[in-house]
Amino acid sequence: MNETSLIDTHSHVDMLEGISTHEAIQNAKANGVEKIIVPCAAAGDIDKIYNLVNSHDELYGLLGVHPSEVKDWDDTLIDKISRYSMSPKIVGIGEIGLDYYWDKSFNDLQKSVFIKQIKLANSLHLPICVHDREAHKDTYDILKEYNKSSIVVMHCFSGSAEFARECLKEGWYLALGGVVTFKNAVKMKEVAVEIPLDRLLLETDAPYLTPVPYRGKQNQPAYVRFVADEIAGLRGISYEEVAVATADNARKVFAL
């Protein structure tokens, strides 16, 4: 294993178009990416994600239902996710959380399903990968009240430096992706400098949020190196330092 290998902690490789999972993994390896964690978004994708990560050594999975998909939640999923989580390739519950950006008409249902999935993660002793879009206060309050034991990863962190400090006080991890490379992402660049290295994770959120210099094209796990490079530059430290610290954190959080 390359000492400076990277781990992409959040990549929807099942959603890539025009490139096979095998090709995406080979591209990632050629760019120093050693492991890729694939989150689940929809209830109907749980089997697909489980089978995908069990078919590739480099892939690990998160199981859960994304806030935008909670209308398809069914309590029988608790047993199904619990059963699948016995596999060492399932390393967390996610992505779960709140999203008030697209549609606020079912916020209460989002909260209810978020709480159920937090409790599930606690019972399974698994970390949670949290999606929080324009819902910082409610996300924070629910985690504070209901999360008793799971490590928390704030995926694709989008809050201010001040909100980052509040999350860090709780011992949560913050994951940054391609947005930090955007010229106008001043807030994200501030956050990237402030997060202690032992609380930082890297991700692509592929196929979305492609970093510069590929912004506008489809994202893929190989591009997580541009995120590492940007953060290293912003902090005035070496790429290797960012790679080693974030990969160590990912191994610790997800027991890889």
Cis peptide before 95 (omega within 30 of 0): yes
Cα(217)–Cα(228) distance, rounded to whole angstroms?
19
CB 210 within 8 A of CB 216: yes
Task: Express each pLDDT in 84-140 by its tens digit.
Answer: 999 999 999 999 999 999 888 999 999 999 999 999 999 999 999 999 999 999 999
End-to-end CA distance of the chain: 13
Cα(253)–Cα(256) distance, rounded to whole angstroms?
8
Task: Express each pLDDT in 220-242 by its tens digit.
Answer: 999 999 999 999 999 999 999 99
Task: State the average pLDDT over residues 205-222.
Answer: 97
Whether residue 250 has pLDDT greater than 90: yes
Cα dihedral 239, 242, 245, 250 sign: negative
Half-sphere exposure of 173 (CA within 13 A, CB side): 29
Per-residue confidence at 192, pLDDT binned at 50, 70, 90? very high
Per-residue confidence at 2, pLDDT binned at 50, 70, 90? very low
pTM, full prediction: 0.97
Q: Where along the chain do its domains lie? A: 6-254
The set of residues, in sequence order, having a beta carbon less than 8 Å from that of 107 and lying 6+ positions away, is 98, 100, 138
Please report, as a single letter, which amino acid is at residue 22. Answer: H
CATH superfamily of 6-254: Metal-dependent hydrolases (3.20.20.140)
Cα(65)–Cα(22) distance, rounded to whole angstroms?
25
Coil, strand or helix at 86: coil
Q: What is the pLDDT of residue 1?
A: 41
Reference 41, options 17, 62, 20, 16; nearest CA is 62
Task: State the average pLDDT over residues 9-14.
Answer: 98
Task: State the average pLDDT over residues 43-55.
Answer: 98
Q: What is the pLDDT of residue 104?
A: 85
